[in-house]
Homo-oligomer: A and B are copies of this chain.
């Protein structure tokens, strides 16, 4: 055996048994502080308040997605798809780093702490920084990540409607929440992958598994990602932060670490290029633990609104939440706010921190994104939507919208 050969590392993963790190570049990325940081960002934000097992992290998810990528590459090579060693390492790096731009509580705070930027854009920024540190070792990975590489299937494995990201998060979230509804036949799907004319496809006999995947994703949305109580907690999280920022800007004294104070103090806009580097650094210093420590200390704030909201969040005393298919009547919302103001001794403006209504939407399958293509036995290529035998096409492709309202548990619903 070659003594210079990179000795593979093995990591226990309760979901897949073992994940192996087979390339020194991947190991280098894994050890990078920017990647280690993901250990402190929960994959599912506040979902652990409903599913106590859901403490898994972005770190673990990224590792799992990298593992599935390895399996996919192995399958495709076995089927004769041409993938060079450097392409293999690059696509592994790309999936490993795809979420590296996530901030605290992942999606929940994505647009609260900073504006005008998605986590994908921040991921790209971080990848570029590391690329510079590593003298261009991530060049090809970045090219794949940004879909500029000449083999589109590599990008599609990283980001499409049937990518390793989705396969891992459905599998992993289902595993750690214990929600069997989300179980996906990831190994069967991977075994069914193929490439035609550079495009990622699924063999015809894998259609059932794809249907199951689409259903699982949809069920996970309503049962986990948009679960009523999770939604209530995430909205409360946002209200807490809005209140704290308001107080800070009004000159009130509240517990604030250096990072959060800086972020509150700037009107940060990512596209103001002069700021973005510093901003990225500040934002990426934050993590779930630091935010949670704020909520704990804010329980004792002299501002009753901040203190009440923080106590609710920290001790899981969440607002009552109703979800329905139609918007709520603005007069009902206002009546509840008035009742809340009266009950808690607040102004109407402050009552809006406790009583609020909005909508949530999701697609199970997006027609505007690249479609999942099926390679038929006879050689034809079809979109999976043409082949659904068990499910109704419209159910999957229409935007599904629901409306919610949150209000303190002690309030009664207004009678007319």
Contacts and interface: CB of A to CB of B under 8 A. Distances in A.
A191 B20 contact: yes
Interface in A1-28: 1-2, 5, 7-8, 10-15, 17-18, 20, 22
Contacts of A12: 51-53, 177-179
A79 B14 contact: no
Nearest to A213: B181
Interface string A50-62: 0111011101100
A328 to B, nearest CB: 18
Contact of A285 (B31, B80, B296): B296
Query: Copies per complex?
Result: 4
A296 B292 CA distance: 14
Contacts of A187: 17-18
Contacts of A209: 181
A248 interface: no
A149 interface: no
A242 to B, nearest CB: 21
Interface in A23-71: 31, 33, 36, 39-40, 48-49, 51-53, 55-57, 59-60, 63
A157 to B, nearest CB: 17
Contacts of A314: 33, 36
Interface stretch (A109-117, A218-226, A344-352): A218-226
Interface string A175-193: 1111111011101100100
20 contacts: A10-B188, A11-B52, A12-B178, A13-B52, A33-B314, A33-B315, A39-B316, A53-B60, A55-B55, A180-B185, A180-B212, A181-B208, A208-B219, A212-B219, A215-B215, A215-B390, A222-B390, A257-B297, A287-B292, A392-B395
Given A12-B177, A17-B188, 16 more contacts: A1-B79, A10-B191, A11-B52, A12-B53, A12-B178, A18-B188, A31-B316, A33-B314, A36-B316, A39-B48, A211-B219, A212-B215, A215-B215, A290-B296, A390-B395, A391-B395
